Amino acid sequence: MSTIPADTIDLDRMYAPPSEMIVKSVLILPPFHGHPYKRLTIAIGGGR
């Protein structure tokens, strides 16, 4: 929680464009980060 991956920040910046772009960014993210991946998906749903 203390250490936020750069991927999360990137998504924040992409928040400006349509949600579609955000979804694509999430898919690009590697499966290695299972925790952040799920968090990003939730953030997209809430932003919708």
Distance CA 41, CA 27 (A): 10
pLDDT at site 33: 53
pLDDT tens track for 4-27: 555 555 555 555 555 555 555 555
Look at residues 45, 1, 2 and name the one whose alpha carbon lies nearest to residue 22: 45
pLDDT at site 18: 54
| Residue 48 in this model has a pLDDT that exceeds 50 | no
User: Exposed/middle/buried for 22, CB within 10 Å: 0-12, 13-18, 19+?
Assistant: buried
User: Is the residue at 35 inside a domain?
Assistant: yes
What are the structure tokens assigned to 29, written together? 């993210």
User: Is the residue at 32 inside a domain?
Assistant: yes
Name the residue range of residue 43's domain.
6-47
| Average pLDDT, integer, range 26-35 | 56
Question: What's the total number of domains in the chain?
Answer: 1
User: Is the residue at 1 inside a domain?
Assistant: no
